[in-house]
A and B are shown apart, each in its own frame.
Chain A
Amino acid sequence: MRHLLSAGDLSREEAIDILDTAETMSATQQRQIKKLPTLRGLTVVNLFLEDSTRTRISFEAAAKRLSADVINFSAKGSSVSKGESLKDTAQTLEAMGADAVVIRHSASGAPHRLAHTGWIDAPVLNAGDGSHQHPTQALLDAYTMRRRLRAAASRGADLRGLRVVIVGDVLHSRVARSNVDLLHILGADVLLVAPPTLLPVGVRAWPCEVTYDLDAAIASHQPDAVMMLRVQRERMSSEAGGFFPSPMEYARRYGLDASRLAAMPEHAIVMHPGPMNRGLEISAAAADSHRSTIREQVANGVAVRMAVLYLLLAGRSESRPELPLEA
């Protein structure tokens, strides 16, 4: 693995290797001293050109627990509005000694450009690009599903046979795209549920099913996991595209309320990538229920990002350095 740009680039074996490595990382995080010396002397740059506190903090924690030095570079907007090009920014950071670049960008494809134009040599880790991909989110979601639903048999396992329903603004969602790719690679069955306006033209080519009716989806699909996507309230305005008539109508038709929560199978989990719009796509009852894995997803995010950083950076040398597993 040279870069991590898209969940769809991973093979089944690579994906399972990341999840297993994350299990190991997670085990080390139960100790009193959480820091591992693995990436000592290496520098990870968090290049965040779009607002995001949670993801940046998660990557920062992951890198620091592996003893890497972390440089945070945040600026809002694209290269144009900023006045400096992405190319110059990235080259500046590499000149300062970046060994890996974690990039969040509002433009789809920006990490791909960074990795494949010859601008820089360092491995590139996509932390979310436009409406395109957010591969570590999909990995932490898969990790969470595997732990919750495979329990003790999780290590080495894929997600074959699991039924996952993803609900909401698929059109603008990098979380949805990454999850459809990765869940397919890991053998799960995916059903997307959204108003027709919030599905991309071309979605029928994706390796998943699509429906417009959430109640029917829960009843017929008997999901093991229901993943709610964040919906931006502004999307209903005419200027922003007029994708739905009102937040209330959206909540009625596509929100995970108490009755839909009750209709889910006993064992099924409720997932959300955060940040949530309580009362819009998810009710408080669902968000705070014991079936919600929302806080667990956040914790798992650190372990998964530790695993990815470790595999990208340690994988550059001939042999993978051993993880110090003994406490």
Chain B
Amino acid sequence: MSRTYLLQGPALLGGQATDLLLADGVIAATGPDARRAAGAGTEVIDAEGLIALPGLVDLHTHLREPGREDAETVASGTRAAAAGGFTCVHAMANTDPVADTAGVVEQVYHLGRDAGWVEVRPVGAVTVGLGGTRLAELGAMADSAAAVRVFSDDGKCVSDPLLMRRALEYVKAFDGVIAQHAQDPRLTAGAVMHEGRMSADLGLTGWPAVAEEAIIARDVLLAEHVGSRVHICHLSTAGAVDIVRWAKARGITVTAEVTPHHLLLTDDLLADYDPVYKVNPPLRTAEDVEAVRAGLADGTIDIVATDHAPHTQEDKDCEFSAAAFGMTGLETAVGVVAEAMITPHQHDFGWADIARVMSTAPARIGRVGGQGQPLTAGAPAHLTLIDPAAPTPVDPEGQASASRNTPYAGRVLPAAVRATFYAGRPTVLDGHLQDERSTS
């Protein structure tokens, strides 16, 4: 018999305040019913002034296990996810060995189940070994215990147009989706930062916007031709927003994600060659940041996904060109999105929109049944409580991720996760991870 919780007074999606009763892994009752149904053993949680959102769903997380357990493990990464308000993460396939077989995706799936912090949905590689030449056994991964629906060579682009076409077609058989890391490899050989004014000054090899946009343009046309859906990972340029907007207007089934860092940070930050800002796709210009914000606000961009990419200190405390690409993001995602989308009051964007782009829509794209559901009676008790007015400094040492490569160290973010419930169990309470897994 699991513990029951009465959440008193949270504002649902930032709107109406109500009560929620969580019992047996589901939302047992809401509103006045919740208080009435609460029994003697019910733990009461004061959520006055907090916002209740469905548990956040990340479509793009690097958990690094198997292979780079020194940077992150499924356990440490999912713990970080819970701290960030997530109840589901999609574990990217670029592990070692690559998640390109049913065996590896099932291993990751079971590691996630054992850790118990969030639901782990493994992403399968599109091509064998991320090699870009031969389709992996997508069907076997789809049929496995991990029930993979999202396939991606993320970190590498499926650049061969014929192979991309075949992948888009093939996954229709099991309602899968190809999540493309849009980067023309020939246009980005040796590239380490956005190509523009800053790269000219810094003498670093540039990663031009067109290398992303050309692949996106090709892939939406391929998706239209074969009648498949396609998902664009970490869209980062103004031109890419225009292309996706055009494709949607044309009726093409394309979805797109933006990362929190591409909503907030620009390539100016590279002036000191600090590898903590080295990421792929690279930080772009202020104009690009404006465009991706506008695209997220008007629905051109469907979701925010973290691209949480933990790296060891050794891989970051070195010359810029020698450093690894990527930054952590799970624990700061909500605060950064609030900072970029709500605080500036540029766009009509509120907490209900955050619920849409960080929970409902990613769950739908990833075909994750129980996640991203409305907070109504009978729904699975996956939810998070956010304090929308809690200026919180980012302290890398205080983070749950096994890595420290957050680009936000020292920044003050406007909102904080106060509690997370995964299947009715509190993984975070009072802002603290609940390591004691009480089953009483």
Residues of A bordering B, CB below 8 Å = 78-80, 85-87, 105-110, 112-113, 116-117, 129-133, 174, 177, 200-203, 205-206, 241
Residues of B bordering A, CB below 8 Å = 189, 195-206, 208, 272-273, 314, 317-322
Q: Is the CB of B200 within 8 A of A203?
A: yes
Q: Is the CB of A112 within 8 A of B197?
A: no
CB of B322 to closest CB in A, whole Å: 5
Q: Is the CB of B272 within 8 A of A177?
A: no
Task: Specify which of B195, B205, B273 lies most central, judged by the most chain A CB atoms within 10 Å of its CB.
Answer: B273
Q: Is the CB of A86 within 8 A of B203?
A: no
Q: Is the CB of B321 within 8 A of A202?
A: no
**Can you name 28 A-B residue pairings with CB atoms under 8 Å?**
A78-B319, A78-B321, A80-B318, A85-B314, A85-B318, A86-B318, A107-B320, A107-B321, A107-B322, A108-B202, A108-B203, A109-B204, A116-B272, A117-B317, A130-B203, A130-B204, A131-B204, A131-B205, A133-B203, A177-B201, A177-B203, A200-B200, A201-B196, A202-B201, A202-B206, A203-B200, A205-B201, A206-B200
Q: What 7 pairs between A and B have smallest CB-CB spacing?
A: A109-B273, A132-B203, A202-B200, A131-B203, A200-B200, A202-B197, A107-B319
Q: For residue B198, which residues in chain A have a CB less than 8 angstroms away from its CB? A: 202
Q: For residue B205, which residues in chain A have a CB less than 8 angstroms away from its CB? A: 131
A85 and B189 alpha carbons, distance in the complex (Å): 24
A205 and B318 alpha carbons, distance in the complex (Å): 29
Q: For residue A131, which residues in chain B have a CB less than 8 angstroms away from its CB? A: 203-205
A116 and B201 alpha carbons, distance in the complex (Å): 18
Q: For residue A129, which residues in chain B have a CB less than 8 angstroms away from its CB? A: 203
Q: For residue A201, which residues in chain B have a CB less than 8 angstroms away from its CB? A: 195-196, 199-200, 206, 208
Q: Is the CB of A79 within 8 A of B189?
A: no
CB of B238 to closest CB in A, whole Å: 15
Q: For residue B272, which residues in chain A have a CB less than 8 angstroms away from its CB? A: 112, 116
Task: Specify which of B195, B203, B204 lies most central, judged by the most chain A CB atoms within 10 Å of its CB.
Answer: B203
CB of A285 to closest CB in B, whole Å: 32
Q: For residue A203, which residues in chain B have a CB less than 8 angstroms away from its CB? A: 200
A129 and B320 alpha carbons, distance in the complex (Å): 12
A66 and B213 alpha carbons, distance in the complex (Å): 56
CB of A73 to closest CB in B, whole Å: 16
Q: For residue B199, which residues in chain A have a CB less than 8 angstroms away from its CB? A: 200-202
A200 and B206 alpha carbons, distance in the complex (Å): 9
Q: Is the CB of B204 within 8 A of A108?
A: yes
Given contacts A200-B199, A201-B196, 18 further A-B contacts (CB under 8 A): A105-B319, A107-B320, A107-B322, A108-B203, A108-B273, A109-B273, A116-B272, A130-B204, A131-B203, A131-B205, A133-B203, A201-B199, A202-B196, A202-B197, A202-B200, A202-B201, A202-B206, A205-B200
A133 and B318 alpha carbons, distance in the complex (Å): 19
A203 and B197 alpha carbons, distance in the complex (Å): 7
Q: Is the CB of A109 within 8 A of B320?
A: yes
A200 and B205 alpha carbons, distance in the complex (Å): 9
Q: For residue A202, which residues in chain B have a CB less than 8 angstroms away from its CB? A: 195-201, 206
Q: For residue B200, which residues in chain A have a CB less than 8 angstroms away from its CB? A: 200-203, 205-206
A130 and B321 alpha carbons, distance in the complex (Å): 10
Q: For residue A113, which residues in chain B have a CB less than 8 angstroms away from its CB? A: 273, 318-320
Task: Specify which of A113, A117, A129 lies most central, judged by the most chain B CB atoms within 10 Å of its CB.
Answer: A113
**Residue in A85, A108, A116, A177 whose CB lies within 8 Å of B320:** A108
A200 and B200 alpha carbons, distance in the complex (Å): 5
Task: Specify which of A78, A85, A108, A132 lies most central, judged by the most chain B CB atoms within 10 Å of its CB.
Answer: A108
Q: For residue B322, which residues in chain A have a CB less than 8 angstroms away from its CB? A: 78-80, 107
Q: For residue B203, which residues in chain A have a CB less than 8 angstroms away from its CB? A: 108-109, 129-133, 174, 177
Q: For residue B197, which residues in chain A have a CB less than 8 angstroms away from its CB? A: 202, 205
What residue of chain A has the Cβ atom nearest to residue B319's Cβ?
A107
CB of A196 to closest CB in B, whole Å: 14
Q: Is the CB of A132 within 8 A of B202?
A: yes
CB of B405 to closest CB in A, whole Å: 15
Q: Is the CB of A87 within 8 A of B318?
A: yes
A116 and B272 alpha carbons, distance in the complex (Å): 8
Task: Specify which of A117, A129, A201, A203 lies most central, judged by the most chain B CB atoms within 10 Å of its CB.
Answer: A201
CB of B323 to closest CB in A, whole Å: 10
Q: Is the CB of B201 within 8 A of A110?
A: no
